[in-house]
Structure 1
Amino acid sequence: MPRTMNPLQLIADRWQPSARFVQRAAFACVVMAVVIVVTGGAVRLTQSGLGCPTWPTCTEHSLTPTPAMGINGVIEFTNRMLTYVLCAVVGLAIIAARAHQPVRRDLTRLGWAQFWVVMGNAVVGGVTVLTGLNPYIVSAHFLLSTALLTVAVLMWHRSLEGDAAPRDLVARPVRELNRVLVGATLLLIVIGTVVTGAGKHAGDASKGVRRIPLDWHEITQLHVDFVYIVLGLTVALWFTLRAVQAPAGPVRRVVELFAVLMLQGVVGYVQYFNDSPEVIVGVHMFGSCLVWIAVLRVFLALRERGALPVVSARSASSGEQQEVVEPEAVG
């Protein structure tokens, strides 16, 4: 009886990408997740949030922007089109993970998780337009993008390590301190979205766009307070790792996080004392992505799952088995 095969299986029977190709595809997902955040910020900072006044089409009678809509329509529509590019990159990562031998189901699951987050966020983006840039929906739109970045980083990291059972590199109290750091950073990002929702960059020049009814200076001060909390936890984690003589990998990740936080802090202060110029706000949004990536890399560095497995590659011409050791990835 013939075996029923889905399209991914058919591809896997004809193409077995290397582990390095899978890693690069996963890293491309991380890059695109950051790009979609930055370009979404560009839409808001150029007052193009309602450049296409409806959704899913650009206008009631046109899928694409019309000349009368000017540059704002082009910017908004371009950001929408980037969603398709993102889907293509995620799709490539899913196919590569499924076709790689041996099959690693966790990588395909993480790829599909990204796909569904993208689909959900596309709907939230449409609701954002239909509600006239409601600041709470805008915040949810950004936080879903952060969720996408989280899953993309997890997939990238898993593609760089083996499938052995996780082994902790530090004691439980150190892991708990790291979890507090992750939670504080997540709160920092959430408060940052509130700062944005209460600030002057509403995303459209219309005065009718709602803002979150909070004092911008007070919520910004709370955001700064959490910056110091995250910095303090980072320094505390570094001293703790040195005290327990942790491996060099986790210590290096914490140093990287500290450097990113310091750079982001400089950008934040420049933004605050210069009345939030658009370019600096955009750089700050990019920096928030780098901070979250660095925090996740610290979290993931505190355990290991062994080296990448040795794969068995089948020669298409002879059908013989040949042992191939994939090159060690640098993460």
Structure 2
Amino acid sequence: MRTPSSLLADRWQPSGVIVRRAALAALVMSVVIVVTGGAVRLTASGLGCTTWPRCTGESVTPTPEMGIHGVIEFTNRMLAYVLSAAIGWAILAARCHVPWRRSLTKLGWAQFWLVMSNAVLGGITVLTGLNPYTVAAHLIAAMGLVWVALLMWERSKEGDGAPQLAVSRPIVQLSYVLVTVIGLLVAAGTLVTGAGHHPGAPGKDGKPVPRIPLDYDRLAQVHADLAFLSVGLVIAVIFVFAAVKAPPAARARVRELFVLLLAQGVLGFVQYFTQVPELLVGIHMLGATLVWAAALRIPLALRVRLDEPAPAVPAQALQTA
């Protein structure tokens, strides 16, 4: 049975460059949606649209009475459609490429379903009056989307053969430990946000937005401790990769992560001691996304994927050809 995508593949066979650009566009939009989601919270527009999936009980779009907060919240919702379009382009490019990159298509569909599930989670966040736990889960899910989008982009630059390690397995496992620690650092940041400043809106029905009932300063200290651990671990990985002569790309990516972590650390301390101004928090969120992406790229540089070998042609078929 022919499908619309297979019919399109008969008429359009994008090059590998187009597939990589489509995957990169999806990755860029996944980062953008994290930043704009942070802007919604930092401008106290989290309840700019009072319900979900509509903006109000009677209107899909914001009304003039809702002011700028309604516009900001609604704009962020509309950007989800732009993100979905970018992912759709990536899926179709992978499907129509010759040969069909089935692994890339699966990663594209994984992004699509992550966007749909996160949209529902965002609706629950609004309906629960910006419950800090659902807000944190909303951001973690967005980081998961960045992960899958990054993987698709990196895989679009490789073949579909079996991965071959360029270093010993313990070195690869060390890179996994680094990714795990960075993930914990990002997760701790969501808890700091949930317990501290910028709840996202003044409140709903006269009630203040709930916060995580933990001491803000203690959570900030835990977050800082994880940042120090991350920096120390990155320094160790730099020396280990140099000692084992890891691939140049892997060593370069660790150095990039080190620079990003230092910049994030300085920014984090500045915003903490300046009462977390909105602009610095927004930049810090962008930095957290870039740090996460930089960490994820390190294990991917420790293995090689070549093109799958062409299927062998039976000798009998050659004789009858």
TM-score (norm 2): 0.94
Provide the residue aligned with 1:55 in structure 2: 52
**Corresponding pairs, count:** 307
Name the structure 2 match of 1:9.
Answer: 6
Q: Which residue number corresponds to residue 223 of structure 1?
A: 223
- Note if 1:68 corresponds to 2:65: yes
2: CA distance, partners of 1:308 / 1:121: 35
| Structure 2 counterparts to residues 235-274 of structure 1, below 5 A | 235-274=235-274
Runs of 5+ unmatched residues, structure 1: 311-331
> Partner amino acid for 2:25?
A
Structure 1 vs Structure 2: percent identity of aligned residues? 59
- What is the alpha-carbon distance in structure 2 between the residues aligned to residue 208 and residue 272 of structure 1? 23
1:113-262 equivalences in 2 (<5 Å):
113-206=110-203, 208-262=208-262
Conserved 8 A contact 2:158-2:305: yes
C-alpha contact 1:161 1:308 (8 A) present in aligned 2: no
RMSD: 1.3
Write out the 4+ residue segments of structure 1 that deviate beyond 2 Å after TM superposition.
306-310
Residues 1:32 and 2:29 are matched in the alignment: yes
Counterpart in 2 of 1:291?
A: 291
Which residue of 98, 120, 126 maps to 2:95?
98
* Residue-by-residue CA offset, 1:198-257 (whole Å, 9 max, x unaligned): 011100023510000011110000000000111111111110011112221111111111
Change (3 A) 1:148 1:290: same
Work out the CA distance in 2 between the residues paired with 1:178 and 1:221. 25
CA distance, structure 2, for counterparts of residue 249 and residue 84 of structure 1: 34
Deviations along 1:63-110, one digit per CA (max 9) or x if unpaired, are 100000000000000000001111100000000000000111000000
- The answer for the alignment partner of 1:326 in structure 2 is none
Change in CA separation of 1:308 and 1:280 when aligned onto 2, cut-off 3 Å: farther
Moved more, 236-245 or 149-158: 236-245
Shift of 1:306: 2.5
1:324 aligns with none
Unaligned runs of 5+ in 2: 311-321
Q: Distance in 2 between matches of 1:224 and 1:164?
A: 41
Q: 2:315 — aligned with what? A: none
